[in-house]
Structure 1
Amino acid sequence: MKKLLLAFSALLGLVVCGSPLQAEAAMQAPTNSEPVSFYDKVIKMRFNVIDEDAATIAVAKRKTGDAGFLESLYYEGDIALPNKVEYNDKTYRVVAIADSAFYNCKDLTSITFNKGLETIGKNAFDFCTSLDDDIRLSGNIKEIGYLAFNNCVKLASINIGKQVTTIDDGAFAKTGCPVTLDADNPNFMQTDFIIFQPKEGRLIYIDPQATTLQMPANISIIGDYAAANCKKLETLNLHEGIKKIGYQAFVACYGLSSVELPASLEEIGEAAFKYTIRLQSIKIAEGNTHFKVENKALLTADGKQLLAYPTALQEDEVKIPEGVEVIGEGTFASTVIKKVTFPESLKEVGASAFHQCVNLTEVNLPDATKKIGTQAFALCEKIRKLHVGPNLEEIGKYCFFMDTALVQLYFNRKTPPYIPYTLMGCFSAESEKNGTLYVPFGALNAYKSNVEYNEFKNIVEHDFTSASLVQQDAPFAVSVANGELSIAVSAPSAITIFTLDGANVWQAVVNATETVSLPAGSYIIKSENSSKKVVVY
Structure 2
Amino acid sequence: MSSLVVRLLIPLLLPHATAPSCLYQPDANGAVSIPDSVTSIGDDAFSCCSSLTSISIPDSVTSIGERAFEGCGSLTSVSIPDSVTSIGDFAFAACSSLTSVSIPHGVTSIGVCAFAACSSLTSISIPDSVTSFGERAFEGCSSLTSISIPDSVTSIGVRAFYGCGSLTSVSIPHGVTSIQDSTFYDCSSLTSVSIPHSVTSIGDYAFRECSSLTSVMIPHSVTSIGGGAFSGCSSLTSVSIPHGVTSIGGFAFRDCSSLSSISIPDSVTSTGDNAFLGCSSLTSVSIQHGVTSIGGGAFQSCISLTSIWIPHSVTSIGDYAFAGCSSLTYISIPDNVTSIGGRAFRDCSSLTSVSIPHSVASIERYAFAACSSLTSVSIPHGVTSIGGSAFRDCSSLTSVSIPDSVTYIGVDTFRGCSSLSSVSIPHSITSIEGGVFYGCSSLTSVMIPDSVTYIVSSAFAGCSSLTSVSIPHSVTSIGKRAFRECSSLTSVSIPDSVTSIGDDTFHGCSSLTSVSIPHSVTSIGEGAFAGCSSLTSVLIPHSVTSIGGGAFAGCRSLSSISIPDGVTTIQYSTFYNCSSLTSVSIPDSVTYIGRDAFSGCSSLTSVSIPHSVTSIGERAFFFCISLTSIWIPHSVTSIGPQAFAACSSLTSVFGQDMCNYAAFYFSYKDAHSILKQLEDSGEPVVCLAPGEYQLPRMLRIARNLTVSAHGTALLRGSGDAPLAEISHGSVKLARLNITGGYSKTGGALRIIGGEVTLNECSIFSNVAEV
Structure 1 length-normalised TM: 0.40
User: Highest CA radius of gyration, 1 or 2?
Assistant: 2
Structure number with greater CO (CA < 8 Å, separation at least 6) is 1
Greater percentage in strand = 1
